[in-house]
């Protein structure tokens, strides 16, 4: 419920996403899912006997090199992905975007409107799923799972269930259940909590704010800002990302500040008039950043988690393929995401360090940026190199996981280096 539910595939592309089998597999899943969403909602709505939630179509991606070194190269990767796929898009002059009023020195240099995808409303989608499940006679058990052993699910209230098939799909909370199953201990990458906070906002006068979805490319470490308007002056601003082994319920001031600053400086200062409330959730992030999807060696036990920042978008495609595998019919889940595997690295150490440095120096450049910016970057680079040394990392890891490696929660020796994981 914390998600802005951006339905994005090409807009999530980054330099290098498609150079590794796991990156390609993820992109193919979310691209197929984005295409599936309209029909999927329609078919659920027919079962539920209600109107499908309306999808807001189209997303504008802004390239803002004055804020982040990721923007230009990831924007290029997005354009290339769109061209290669022959996907519908239109280059825009940022000056022509309705309601887009960034600070003059933070105006985007390029913009593209992607027609596929857009956004859905989390409340409407959850309501639809709820009604559909009821109509289908899905029996829901209102209790938390404490552990799973010998094909028996033990609930915290003392009851137990003996299903034929179990799918562990508890988001970031899947980790303790998976690690508690003796046959799987040490065989499945850990799942961490990527705590994210977004803001649900409302403006009494919506005429001064942008009418369409605006976002930046991804900015490393799960960062980047996005603005998702719905109806009646309501909009969603997202989102922070702080990774930890245990859930954190509240945002860090620093990351919330970055979202607010980016929104008001890079999109429009008018947004400051909105009333807002924060919504928090936890992205399930695996030890190598890739999803964990499929059967395990424990008979009847499946896992579907680790979807990071795309889990809602990918849901209909993952669910369809998981059911195909269960029934032995149709396209299955990608090999790259089999849950029992060693965590794989897709970067060499130098590329990993570069990624972490760039993630840590995001922020609007001041006008005297060149000298102070270079000094800051040098200092950050030394810090990041120390963290890599402390973790004993000889290959690169996702920027948001570096602290977990340096603090000894994750272990460099478990990683398959990039030359073996291609
Ligand atoms: C701020 C924010 C913004 C986001 N924006 C987007 C977006 O725009 N688009 C997108 O695709 N994704 C987005 N995401 C990511 C997305 O929310 C996740 O990838 C997705 O929710 C993962 O789905 P899941 O079902 O695996 O886990 P969850 O959504 O976390 O669901 C897990 C479920 O399991 C239940 N559970 C947990 N433990 C137990 C237990 N022991 N027993 C029984 N039940 C349990 C929980 O109560 C919950 O209902 C965002 C995430 C955040 C935090």
pLDDT in tens, 173-215: 999 999 999 999 999 999 999 999 899 999 998 899 999 999 9
With the most atoms of ligand 1 within 8 angstroms of its CB, the residue from 6, 161, 170, 278 to mutate is 170
* CB count in 10 Å sphere of residue 214: 25
In short, whether 173's Cβ falls inside 6 Å of ligand 1 is: yes
CA distance 366 to 320: 48
CB 330 within 8 A of CB 324: yes
In a domain, 358, yes or no: yes
- Give the least confident one: 80-89, 237-246, 357-366: 357-366
In a domain, 355, yes or no: yes
In a domain, 376, yes or no: yes
In a domain, 389, yes or no: yes
In short, whether 281's Cβ falls inside 6 Å of ligand 1 is: yes
What's the pLDDT band for 391 if we cut at 50, 70, 90? very high
In a domain, 405, yes or no: yes
pLDDT over 90 (residue 156): yes
Among the listed residues 334, 274, 378, the one whose alpha carbon sits nearest the alpha carbon of residue 25 = 334
CB 286 within 8 A of CB 191: yes
* CB count in 10 Å sphere of residue 25: 17
Q: Ligand 1 centre and the CA of 2: distance in Å?
A: 8
In a domain, 305, yes or no: no
C-alpha distances in Å from residue 18, one per residue of 13, 74, 81, 221, 353: 8, 12, 9, 18, 20
In a domain, 414, yes or no: yes
Find where tokens 């006008």 sit. Answer: 367
Token pair belonging to 218: 């991804």
In short, whether 62's Cβ falls inside 6 Å of ligand 1 is: no
CA distance 84 to 102: 31
pLDDT over 70 (residue 369): no
Strands 166-168 and 301-305: parallel
Q: How many domains does the chain have?
A: 1
Q: Ligand 1 centre and the CA of 292: distance in Å?
A: 14
pLDDT over 80 (residue 363): no
pLDDT of residue 252: 83
In a domain, 176, yes or no: no
In short, whether 284's Cβ falls inside 6 Å of ligand 1 is: yes
CB 219 within 8 A of CB 359: yes
pLDDT of residue 307: 96
- Beta-bridge mates of residue 294: 303
User: What atom in ligand 1 is closest to the CA of residue 171?
Assistant: 27
- Give the least confident one: 195-199, 299-303, 314-318: 195-199
What's the pLDDT band for 28 if we cut at 50, 70, 90? very high
In short, whether 81's Cβ falls inside 6 Å of ligand 1 is: no
Q: What is the residue with the minimal CA distance to atom 1 of ligand 1?
A: 196
Domain that holds residue 384: 347-421
- Averaged confidence pLDDT in the chain: 93
In short, whether 238's Cβ falls inside 6 Å of ligand 1 is: yes
C-alpha distances in Å from residue 416, one per residue of 21, 28, 340, 375, 421: 14, 23, 13, 34, 6
């Amino acid at each position: 419920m914390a998600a802005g539910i951006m339905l994005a595939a090409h807009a999530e592309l980054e330099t290098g996403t498609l150079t590794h089998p796991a990156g390609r597999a993820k992109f193919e899943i979310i691209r197929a899912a984005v295409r599936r969403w309209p029909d999927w909602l329609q078919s659920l709505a027919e079962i539920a006997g209600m109107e499908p939630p309306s999808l807001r179509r189209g997303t504008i991606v802004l390239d803002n090199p004055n804020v982040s070194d990721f923007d230009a190269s990831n924007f290029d990767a997005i354009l290339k992905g769109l061209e290669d796929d022959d996907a519908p898009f239109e280059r825009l002059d940022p000056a022509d975007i309705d309601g887009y009023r960034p600070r003059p020195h933070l105006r985007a240099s390029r913009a593209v409107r992607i027609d596929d995808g857009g956004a859905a409303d989390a409340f409407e989608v959850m309501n639809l799923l709820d009604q559909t499940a009821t109509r289908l006679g899905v029996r829901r058990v209102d209790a938390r799972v404490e552990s799973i052993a010998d094909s028996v699910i033990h609930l915290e209230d003392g009851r137990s269930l003996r299903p034929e098939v179990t799918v562990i799909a508890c988001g970031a909370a899947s980790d303790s259940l998976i690690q508690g199953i003796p046959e799987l201990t040490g065989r499945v990458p850990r799942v961490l909590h990527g705590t994210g906070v977004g803001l649900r906002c409302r403006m009494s006068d919506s005429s001064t704010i942008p009418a369409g979805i605006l976002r930046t490319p991804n900015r490393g470490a799960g960062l980047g800002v996005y603005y998702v308007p719905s109806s009646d002056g309501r909009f969603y601003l997202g989102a922070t990302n702080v990774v930890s082994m245990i859930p954190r319920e509240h945002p860090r001031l620093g990351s919330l500040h970055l979202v607010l600053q980016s929104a008001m400086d890079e999109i429009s200062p008018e947004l400051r008039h909105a009333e807002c409330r924060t919504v928090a959730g936890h992205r399930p992030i695996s030890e190598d950043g890739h999803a964990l999807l499929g059967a395990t060696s424990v008979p009847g036990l499946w896992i579907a988690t680790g979807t990071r920042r795309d889990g809602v978008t990918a849901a209909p495609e993952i669910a369809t393929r998981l059911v195909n595998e269960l029934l032995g019919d149709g396209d299955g889940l990608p090999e790259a995401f089999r849950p029992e595997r060693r965590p794989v690295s897709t970067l060499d150490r130098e590329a990993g360090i570069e990624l972490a440095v760039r993630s840590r120096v995001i922020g609007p450049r001041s006008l005297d940026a060149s000298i102070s910016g270079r000094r800051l970057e040098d200092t950050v680079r030394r810090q990041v190199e120390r963290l890599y040394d402390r973790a004993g990392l000889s290959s690169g890891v996702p920027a948001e996981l570096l602290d977990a490696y340096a603090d000894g929660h994750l272990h460099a020796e478990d990683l398959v280096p990039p030359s073996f994981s291609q």
